[in-house]
A and B are shown apart, each in its own frame.
Chain A
Amino acid sequence: MRNYSTNSSAERIFRLASTAAAVLASLGVVLIVSFMCVPAFKALSQVPFAAFLSTKWNPKGYSGSTWGILPFIAGSLWTTVIALIISVPLSFLAAVFSSQFMTESIRSATDLFFSVLAGIPSVIMGFLALTTIAPLIAKVFHLSSGLTILNGGITLAIMVLPTMVSVLSDAFQKIPVIYKEGALALGASKWQAAVEVLFQFVKPAFISSVLLSFGRAIGETMAVIMAVGNVAMIPKTPLQPGETMTGVLAIEMPETIAGSVHYNVLFLIGFLLLLIALLVNYLSGLITPKVRVKTQ
């Protein structure tokens, strides 16, 4: 019998390679944050902070540039909030239906459609927003153009819906059957049982999915650009056009000179987006551990 492992060199390579890969991946995290930080902080030193809080964005202004980023923050918030207002109730209804009123066999077939919906590329949703939803809005509200915040909100709602539905539906399905049976035995209807009793169990998942959808909606770029009209103003109603943080980045960055103030300010907006995404993720991570404790 040989006294050594025949594949010891293979094992060493295997261990080394996987450790190296993990180090590389983790490095990516560090790199992203730092490379976003540097130009962002440069912008903070080049432009007085108060200037960002104005409503006028005109980087190539004739008599000097104004750097108000409020229109974009407003645009992002408007579209995201509208998206959530539409999608949260709808996804709740759909998730209840899916988990309580559908049989396993049909559900496994139709769930595929939700996965497909989640996979529709941004540009295609944007194309639909542009060619179908916008004209509809224009007709209904008698506008000259349907490229409005509302259009963006509706489009985003469609995009975040599938993930919310699947997270909620999964959470409902994980509840031990005895709780549903207990409610039914007391005379509740299936609907009542779901909404009044079972919902308590999925509250953390619910909040978490709303947070994640907020993050997803505020970070969405292509679909929104094609939907909202891209005018750097603060919209007073959802029927006006606007521009989002993601939008200004995608539209203006390709034309910007690297290293210029414009470039740095755009990176500042990008850094702000990164912070929002990290915050959302952190918050939803705080809530999820509580899920496991409560259903034990």
Chain B
Amino acid sequence: MAIKIEARDVSVYFGSTQILHNVNLGIEEKSVTAIIGPSGCGKTTFLRTLNRLNDLSPDFRLEGEILLDGENIYHMDPIVLRRRVGMVFQKPNPFPMSIFDNVAYGLRLQGIKDKHLLQEKVKSALIAAGLWEEVQNRLSSNAFDLSGGQQQRLCIARAIAVDPEVLLMDEPTSALDPAATSRVEELILELKKSYTIVLVTHNMYQAARVSDFTAFFLSGYLVEFNKTDVIFTNPRDERTQRYVTGKFG
């Protein structure tokens, strides 16, 4: 299987503080790679470098390279990058618009104006996100009327509507109840057939359940990266062992 997106010797600084130290990590395409580690270990920072969202912070500095299909992401238009690499956030953040307009937003940004085309794409995105049946009759109602779990699935639909190649998910279920969480996890398993997924999670059961590969970060260092079952049953690094068993108990 090919490497879809790859970090080479990546170090991240915010001002004079170094957050990530020399990370080397290759994400395989059409798989789910989980990123785990204690709070403050840099997992979200790492995720956000993959779609250059960290560029928004004024004192952000990157050393090393990040390659998407072999191309340095800093050599391409960030807007194009973000269409190829989508993101779902920790707290659902739908726009204060109708359900339809939310999902169509990214498509309209690309200049798609044809009503039928939009309707088709919105529908297929909502189906893929497992939300279509619940909202098909109220596409024009406000997104904020949906429950938390539905809003998050809406955000997933919005992200996949533009047909990205990679989907970055930053603790997508941490704000959801258990029922909604398992729905999203089922969704992730479905979505990996079409997209490369990078999933940051602090829930190790989740990482074990849905991911194919797991990367363990600690204090800004990538400590270990391997197939998920190896990480959880037979980790090579003692620190990984401690973290994994500590949580499993």
Interface residues of A (CB under 8 A from B): 1-6
Contact = CB atoms under 8 A, between A and B. Distances in A.
A1 B109 contact: no
B80 A4 contact: yes
A1 B163 contact: yes
Interface residues of B, number: 9
Nearest to B108: A6
A5 B111 CA distance: 9
11 contacts: A1-B83, A1-B110, A1-B162, A1-B163, A2-B110, A3-B80, A4-B77, A4-B80, A5-B79, A6-B109, A6-B110
Contacts of B162: 1
Contacts of A1: 83, 110, 162-163
Contacts, number: 18
B163 A5 contact: no
Interface string B139-171: 000000000000000000000001100000000
Contacts of A2: 110-111
A6 B106 CA distance: 12
Given A1-B163, A5-B77, A6-B111, 6 more contacts: A1-B110, A1-B162, A2-B110, A3-B77, A4-B79, A6-B110
Interface string B76-119: 01011001000000000000000000000000011100000000
Contacts of A3: 77, 80
A4 B110 CA distance: 8
- 3 nearest interchain CB pairs? A6-B111, A5-B79, A3-B80
Nearest to B164: A1
Nearest to B110: A2
A2 B111 CA distance: 8
Nearest to B84: A1
Contacts of B110: 1-2, 6
B118 to A, nearest CB: 14
A234 B118 CA distance: 79
Contacts of B83: 1
Nearest to B109: A6
